[in-house]
Structure 1
Amino acid sequence: MGADRSTYPGKPERKKPTVRKGSASHARRAAEAKGNRAPATPVRQAGSSHARKAPPKAAGARQNPLGQTTLWTKEPTRGARDSGFGAALKAGLFGIGAVLVAIGRFFGFLARAISRSKLAVAAVAALVIIGGAAAIDLGMNWGKIYPGVHVGSLDLGGKTADEAQALIEGEYAVRLEGKEVLVFANEDASKNIESVLEQNQNNALAEQQSVEEAKANKVLWTADQESLAASFDTAALVEQALAYGREDGGIPARIQALAFGYDIKPAVDFDEDAIESLAAEVDAAIGDPRVNFDIAVADGIAQVTEGHDGDMVERRKFAAEISDAFLTEDNARPYFVAETEYAPIQITREEAQRTCDLVNAALSSGAEFSFEGTTWAASATDIGNWVKTRIVETDGGFSLEPYLDQDIAKGIVINHLNSSFEGDSIQVRFEVKDGERIVHTETDETIPVAGDAVSQLESVLFGSKEGPSGSAPLVEVASKRVPDTMTFDEALENGIISSIASFTTEYTIQPVSRQHNIHLGADLLNNSIIEAGGGRWSFNDISGDYNEEAGFQGAGAILDGEFVDAIGGGICQVATTVFNAVYESGFPVVTRHNHSLYIASYPVGRDAAVAYPDLNLVWENDSASDVLLDMSYTDTTVTATLYGVNPEYQVSTQVGEWQEGEKYKTKTTVDENLAPGTSYVKTVGSDGRKISIVRTVKDKNGTILHEDLFSSTYDPLNEVKVEGPPVKESESESRNENGAQTGE
């Protein structure tokens, strides 16, 4: 209430302080206390004849809880209205007066409290100082970053969010544009940048090394904004700067920033997969990549695969080093030397064995799916083909978790349960319109909700450490009506279509022109459709001539038994990737040519060369539904995936023995820029050889559909030696006199 409750009617009378007799000091204190106390107001009981009556209220008077008049105002004449300015002025004066009265009362209360206690004096003084400082702080820093807060080299104290954002973007965000970061394998390589760059170009051009060999011999990697999807989150930095001293640390944080400063380190954000891919390449060259113990399932039986500790770059540190390099002020190419550290395995043999035992117990009895009167008994082999594993981080470390790959399983479940359709499975037709992929089912029947069924089975199989017990689990599959037209993603989600086969090949980043050609070739083939019932797909018909007019650039290619720089180099890798996806799907291959030189990067005898218009890759879709070819790529990989209704062809391969071919020859060229009498081998020679492989394709019931022979004859790779100019006679004599040897 704010009023002194000692004057309220009905309050018990306060007892007088007791004074001990015989003590002069006590008597003196009591007397002093009595003399200083204000006269008590007589207390009258309600209904007493002596009760004082309150005076009548005057117009405009206000009374406090004690019945005392505190403020007199004149009531406005009824019906009269003040002007807007006058009303505002009166309201303002009234508000100021009320505030002054409140302040006066507050300080009056403080004065009375101070007169009674020295401790209160100190407390009040502290409160006044703190309150004043808080008021000043609030007024000066409202909506602004507190003094002493820095982002990198920028002092953002006193800046608003917009001002800080403009400063950060102007100083740091622009540094990402056009910058290329170099990562070296060792100090020696970093001391001769131009020489290493040239060596990288030559290694990429001479493609006879496998990807693994090329990675192991690499000493330089490059990264730019595009390859790592680098971005700079200015808004997050501003938000962090504004929060410091408010919800982040409060008053102590403000004092610290003002006295010692507070630094927020700017950092670049990267795509995690891109960083992982680059770090893995570095590991392959200067480290020993960690391999976790895992499981592999074949013919319905899981087995443990081996693992070992490693020596790898630490991912967070690696990303931080690249970030620092991107944000350097110097416009020149920044670089650093990568370092590896001990990387213990995450999944031990014991953990992998636990998962292996769980999977084998889960698969032992197979499973049954029931849908509208149709039952499919899936065998251990059927389900085993869907089993995948993932590493899950736990409080105590890591665990290996099995799961079922729905992208594979959904389409197969539908194939076996959709007895309401004529034939073995639902049939689809693809259409690509304005870049959008559309799937036509040409039916409005119901289909099994395969995704939920697979999830239900996964929960039964792997939901407990012991796995299912007893007989095969029975999964009741619900149904849903499917529209005759849907998007590609909807059809994939519903299990109408699935991935039939997918294959990925790798390549080194350098040279950029080869990467450009691979990406361009993949884009030309992407979303191509192969019609059902014998439709044919032709590489050259879809891509057209891969020449300079079509946007292709000069890069590594094979010509006359040598690796040379030619327009369209790299396009054969796209063809090889598509061929291997088709090979593993089981679809018939009509036309395929091997390269003239053996390339160790691809599966033995499974490369495909194209050269417009003479060498082509052609294959056929012999299934009852359309097939769509999806092409995707990263900076180091290209992937071909066939989508449609999976015919479930079973593919096996028999690889023959290598046979000797023609011997290689040595070609020598002269480079006047080399030192006289010196030489080096630009291209390592290798003899020609031959090999044959046989692909056997069976239907889902195990009946052989066709056997395909793929024979490959590879020419020898000629050795190319580069020599400097011959040693002049005078130089030769001088060397002999000094005891030096002449010749090679």
Structure 2
Amino acid sequence: MRRAVLAVGVFVLVAGGAATLFAGSPTRLPAGTTVAGLDVGGLSVSAATVALERRSDALEHEPIEFVAGGRTFTLRASQLGVRPDWAAAVRQAAESTDGFAPVRGLRRVRARIFGAEVEPHVAVFPSVLRYTVGRIAAAVDRPAVDASLERRGLSFVTSPARAGVRLDRSLASATIVNALASLERDGPVRLPVARAEPRVVVDDLADAATAAQTAVSGPVTLTVGPTRFRLPRWRIAQLLDLPNGGATGVSVAGPSAQRWLASLARSVDRDPRDATFRVVSGGIELVPSHPGRTLDLDAARKALQKAVFSSSGRAATVATSTTRAARTTEVARAMGIEEVVGSYTTTYGGTPGRLHNVQLVAELIDGALVAPGARFSFNQTTGERNAAKGFEEAPVIINGELESGIGGGVCQVSTTVFNAAFEAGLSIEKRTNHALYISHYPIGRDATVNYPDLDLVFRNDTDHWLLLRTFVSPGSLTVNLYGTSPDRRVETETAPLEVDGKVPWKRIDDDTMFKGQKVVEQWGSPPRSTSVTRRVYNPDGSLLYNTTWRSYYVGEPTVVRLGTKPRPKPEPSKPAKPDVKAAATPTTKEPALPPATSTTARP
């Protein structure tokens, strides 16, 4: 036992001594050391680094050819920023064979026998590398082509698939960097290219081809409600969506099918129509409602598809959904709109703008419905009367004076509505007379409006709905209120139109007229007032309303234009020269100035 231990000890001492003999100098790289394939054994760390950098610098601008997909691409290390870290690689080689003497010796013996290869870390411009590889891929890649089913008339032909090629971008990037970082330039470098297999081959489309041929084997009948649509074979062929994008089935889909189904829906769909009321000679009648009808496009497509791909039952029925009208015939009949409750007609004239405004605002309130107990507001029904709605300029009363403004003529309609409600015996809650008296309106029964402050409001105090209709004819406007007459009796008492003062006047100085000259530009009217009392009686004779509307009209001034221009002074007369003839002629007098004139003008 002791001899064995002694033998081992002697061997260790001998091996350690031998390893120490091969340790060599720690400042030099051992034999067998290579960096990027270049032998740097026996060189110092600094010398090896310099040698590697010089060799790399000499090759930095040397081109390398890369081959992929039968095409050649030339690249340089400088172009992609390829730069190996030679100093770090040499330090790694030195550290791998370093240590205290016996260990270093053993490591260097191993390097001498087996070699010590170190590959440097390589820096590169990432974005430039990606762009370069992408450019190569764009030139090399050839996508696989799937087998397809194509229509030719009423027949279908299968086109075979084709394999493609694809650049392996990840491996290609590594190959390019390694080749440009290498210290050798050995012929073209092949980049990795993989085969791209198609997803669909001819055999995968056998069922689709059979289904497509079945689809065009005969016409299809589609029944939608009471209507039948016959699709001929050529139309069915247009509606088929053949396999694409990796799909292997055929269906009724795609843009052509969507357009056809949309046109079908347009011919089938019908909006619901509310019950309405139509004015007839002597009264009004109910126009019944109609339900709406809507085609379910998805259900229609599925039904059509089922019939198309059937070899026997080539017919389909598509159900439609019914949309109920908002106001049905039953609801409209219960509204009680059966006869004229109140009516009034006014006459009008004026400028084209005024005539246009009367017609326009009459259209805005025409057809207004007022529920029992609800209020009719002229302003809320028409909204603001402005140019955006088509209203034009016409004479209008502003601050007690007649001027031109947007919406002139609207009060013709509000006055007519007021009188229709007046005659119907309805509760009138807001009414304002005009600032000026207007002779073509009934005395004390005019009604002006101005959005949003001055409004005309009446309340439907009957048990049934009211329908307001307007009828415009050249020179006259009629407003009718339809409902169920409450059989009220209306009595009216109108006070005389009284003058409450003198006619105001307004002076306008005119420097184009001589002093003393006067022109009456407009004749005015005095302020006046009146009142109208309405008594409304129930069918049993009891008094329902006893209302008095008082109207006050301001005076319209007489406008007088007075001259302010000074008259010219007369030139002095010259003494006559005595002669025989002049003595026999009577002396001529100086001409008199023309008298001040007074003219008048009326609108």
Q: TM-score range by the shorter chain?
A: 0.3 to 0.5
Give the TM-score of the pair, scaled to structure 2: 0.40
Give the TM-score of the pair, scaled to structure 1: 0.33
- Report the structure number with the largest CA radius of gyration: 2
